[in-house]
Every structure is written in structure tokens, then in C-alpha cells.
Amino acid sequence: MEYERERKRLVNSLREYNISEKTLNAIKKVSRHLFVPSVQIANAYIDHPLPIGYAQTISAPHMVAMMCDFLDLREGLNVLEIGAGSGYNAAVMTEIMGKKGNIYSIERLEKLAVFAQENLKKAGYSNVEILCKDGSHGLPEHAPYDRICVTASAPCTPLPLVEQLKPEGILVIPEGKRYQRLYRIRKDMEGNITKEDCGGVIFVPLVGDHGFNMLCGN
Ligand code: SAH
């Protein structure tokens, strides 16, 4: 397989983050070079975020891997991602989850929604559905979700996402403007919410009704 040696080297470099074997296996399988613009192919297996156009980025592999581990992904789950971007994070999630289960991934920029859809098709992933809209409202038509993964930073936790989470569900979301933290939010069987700080991160902003409003610059 193309770039197999590069992928193995990348996976070895991720071991220092204590990533689970099931996530490392998924990273080993997904062809990241199919998810970056052609000028970035030479950098595809470096553990670094890369520009994908329209002022957006594909996250660094260690960040994708850490978020997948925080989500505790398993076969058969109903998963929502906000911020499809290149489609790479969705591809890694679907590799971990196997053929059973659903992933819906929302992207607000139409050109990137098409980019993500095409990349996933090239890479052979047919079980991710990309939708173009403001994902800060979640996706009520397929709710509730076992897992919600937000790959853009919100000013605070969007309420619709908490409402669309199943009991025993997990939401992973970066929050903050310049100073951002990654949170793991869990809902228990009684509907009680706990919020755990998983550390400092850097993401592009979540832009939308329950995100940042680019017009008033909040
Ligand atoms: N998960 C992506 C990384 C995407 S970067 C990957 O693996 O490549 C974050 C993405 O979130 C950007 O593409 C941005 O356009 C998108 N985004 C920002 N606000 C959004 C919103 N309200 N709804 C959906 N997508 C949004």
C-alpha cells in the first residue's frame, strides 16, 4: 500500500501520547495523503495540522487520535461530527467503529463539504454522511447520538448538542477563543452532565448561531 512506511513512522511517533492500540490501528489504515490538498501531500504524514483552504485546517494526527480516545468509540454507535473539513477525522472514526454504526458529519462551508465527501469516497469510506449547514444546532433529525465530536472551538457548549446526546453519551468539544481548552462532557442515565478539562488546544472557530458570530466579532 502507498505510503505505508510513512504511516508506520507516524503511528510510532504517536505512541508518546499513550494512544490506544485500536486508534493507532485506525491511523495506520487511513491514507491521510488523500485528505490534504495536492501541494501538501509531501507533508501528509508529519504530525502537524495542515491548511486545507478557506482559512481552515486538518488537525494534527495526535489531536485526531486523542479526540477518538476521549470519545471511546465502538462498533454500532450513532455519531455526529461538527466540522467535516477534509473528512480525515471522520475516516479515522469510521475505521475504529467498523462497518456497523453511523457517522454524520456537518460542514458549514460548501466547498469543504464537497472536498470531504470526495476525499472519503477516494479513500473508500461510504458510510459517512456529509451535510452542509450550521452544525452548532446539531442534527436533530438523526438524534440522539452516542457520541458527538466537535472539531472547531465554540465560545461555550452549544445547548442543542447537549440535548441531542443520549444518556451515557460523550461529547468532546474545544471551547474558547484564543485560550482554548478541550472538554469531555458526559451525560449519565439520569441526564446529569459532567464536564472534564482535557487540556489546552488550538482549533479554528466554530462559526454559527451557537458558535462565534463572525459579523459582530464575539
Ligand atoms: N475534522 C476536520 C478538521 C476541520 S477544521 C478534519 O479532519 O479535517 C474545522 C471545520 O469546522 C472547518 O472546516 C470549518 O469550516 C468547520 N466549521 C466551523 N463552524 C462550523 C459550524 N457551525 N458547522 C459546521 N462546520 C463548521
Per-residue pLDDT of the chain (218 residues; tens, 9 = 90+): 689 999 999 999 999 999 999 999 999 999 999 999 999 999 999 999 999 999 999 999 999 999 999 999 999 999 999 999 999 999 999 999 998 889 999 999 999 999 999 999 999 999 999 999 999 999 999 999 999 999 999 999 999 999 999 999 999 999 999 999 999 999 999 999 999 999 999 999 999 999 999 755 44
**Dihedral sign, Cα of residue 109, residue 111, residue 117, residue 120:** negative
pLDDT digits (tens, 9 = 90+) for 194-203: 999 999 999 9
Among 27, 109, 115, which is best to mutate for testing ligand 1, by the most ligand atoms less than 8 A from CB?
109
Question: What angle (nearest 5°) sits at the alpha carbon of residue 99, between those of residues 98 and 101?
Answer: 90
Q: Are 6 and 45 in contact (CB under 8 A)?
A: yes
Question: What angle (nearest 5°) sits at the alpha carbon of residue 211, between those of residues 188 and 27?
Answer: 65
Whole-angstrom distance, CA of residue 45 vs CA of residue 53? 18
Q: CATH: 3.40.640.10, 3.30.420.40, 2.40.128.640, 3.40.50.150. Which one for 4-201?
A: 3.40.50.150
Name all residues whose Cβ lies below 6 A of ligand 1: 56-59, 82-83, 85-86, 88-89, 106-109, 112, 134-136, 151-152, 204, 206-208, 211
Among 62, 107, 214, which is best to mutate for testing ligand 1, by the most ligand atoms less than 8 A from CB?
107
Residue type, 218: N
Q: Are 104 and 129 in contact (CB under 8 A)?
A: yes
pLDDT digits (tens, 9 = 90+) for 105-157: 999 999 999 999 999 999 999 999 999 999 999 999 999 999 999 999 999 99
42: Cβ–Cβ under 8 A, 6 or more apart, which residues?
Answer: none
Whole-angstrom distance, CA of residue 63 vs CA of residue 42? 20
